[in-house]
Amino acid sequence: MDIKGAIPPREPLTLQGAAGISEIYIETGLLGRAGKAMLDVFSPSRVHIVTDSTVAPLYLETLAQQFTLPVSSTVIPAGEEHKRLSTVEGIYHDLLAAGMTRKDLIIALGGGVVGDITGFAAATFLRGVSLCQIPTTLLAQVDSSVGGKTGVDLDEGKNLVGAFYQPRLVLIDPEVLKTLPDTTFADGMAEVVKYGYIANPAILEMVSQPDYKAHIGDVIYECVKIKRDVVAIDEHDTGLRMILNFGHTVGHAVEKLGNYTELTHGQAVAIGMVAAMRLSALRGDADLSAPLITLLQQLGLPTELTHDREAIFHALLSDKKKFGSTVNFILVREPGRAEITPIEAETLHEYILKL
């Protein structure tokens, strides 16, 4: 990934959650001054960093060496298959062995998997320890590190156990994206496109430019602003926050049908957004799928459903977003405006068979 350009320090974005404030800084080079940024906010006696086996050799030392107080770490194996309760238990043991108390600080350094696991460990260890998120994938920078959703997977499905737990601090450094493989960068772009369609079409303009990677810091900033605004209104996901699931209803279904190995989360979301647009057209709205497909293909993302439609419908119904006999589908009738649309399961079945 070739990341050019730099974004200057800006005022942090702040998110007022029910249990406290979350400050989100987005600055090029921030990882190199993360220690100071943390000690301006927290007064721990020790810190514990959780990261994964890919990120550790790249950035763990850079971060750890910035502290003069005791630093311990847990390096988990990279990959969604490790987003499990057993991994969290391992983190608890490391925290105890390091002598961490409720006054200390836990840092998540990694992508969405590390962020979700570490957030859950921080929410539950000693009933809650301060948390700083340092997201290192584009997906984690624009989405998972902000808003306080934490959790792990069970055999039955993804993210079935978790907690809402806001990080007091989120430190986003676009520079770390330079080591991301292109496909992992593209995964994050699926979520970026999502923000463009649900709230701000200017983002679509930005990422349609051939040199959009040179302005990725600004793109991240616009996306995080949307997430902050949505979560500030509906932190616990009972209403407006559902718009962040545009593309995720069918997306989660195909991700599950591929056993979470055939498609990445971002690829599944890309396919799911196209399916949602086609579903809108089947309901009689304007068909907005063509420009979406062009953009996603330009960004290196898949757009077509390949799984059996009947299987998609059944996987979709088992998703936790089903309410009784209706499914809350997120539809976009014009770029920038998302609507939560309850659709009867029977009607949805007919639409899915036609996709």
Residues numbered 259 to 298 that lie near ligand NAD (CB under 6 A) are: 265
Q: Output the smallest distance, CB 282 to ligand GLY, in A.
A: 25
**How far apart are alpha carbons 319 and 234 in whole angstroms?**
20
Q: Which of 149, 228, 265, 278 binds ligand GLY (CB under 6 A)?
A: 149
- Is residue 272 within the footprint of ligand GLY (CB under 6 A)? no
Residues 6+ apart with CB under 8 A from 69: 44, 45, 46, 47
Nearest to 142 by CA among 318, 269, 253: 269
**How far apart are alpha carbons 35 and 30 in whole angstroms?**
9
For residues 251 and 302, which CB has a smaller minimum distance to ligand GLY in the complex? Answer: 251
**How far apart are alpha carbons 272 and 251 in whole angstroms?**
4
Q: Which of 27, 104, 173, 187 binds ligand NAD (CB under 6 A)?
A: 187
- Is residue 265 within the footprint of ligand GLY (CB under 6 A)? no
For residues 83 and 149, which CB has a smaller minimum distance to ligand GLY in the complex? Answer: 149
- Is residue 255 within the footprint of ligand GLY (CB under 6 A)? no
Choices 113-121, 204-212, 229-237, 280-288; region in contact with ligand NAD by CB under 6 A: 113-121
Residues numbered 110 to 139 that lie near ligand GLY (CB under 6 A) are: none
Residues numbered 219 to 238 that lie near ligand GLY (CB under 6 A) are: 237
**How far apart are alpha carbons 49 and 153 in whole angstroms?**
21
Do 191 and 305 meet the contact criterion of CB atoms below 8 Å apart?
no
Q: Output the smallest distance, CB 40 to ligand GLY, in A.
A: 27
- Is residue 143 within the footprint of ligand GLY (CB under 6 A)? yes
Count of Cβ atoms closer than 10 Å to residue 15 Cβ: 23
For residues 57 and 239, which CB has a smaller minimum distance to ligand GLY in the complex? Answer: 239
**How far apart are alpha carbons 75 and 57 in whole angstroms?**
10
Q: Output the smallest distance, CB 187 to ligand GLY, in A.
A: 13
Residues 6+ apart with CB under 8 A from 276: 246, 247, 249, 250, 329, 330, 331, 332
- Is residue 23 within the footprint of ligand GLY (CB under 6 A)? no
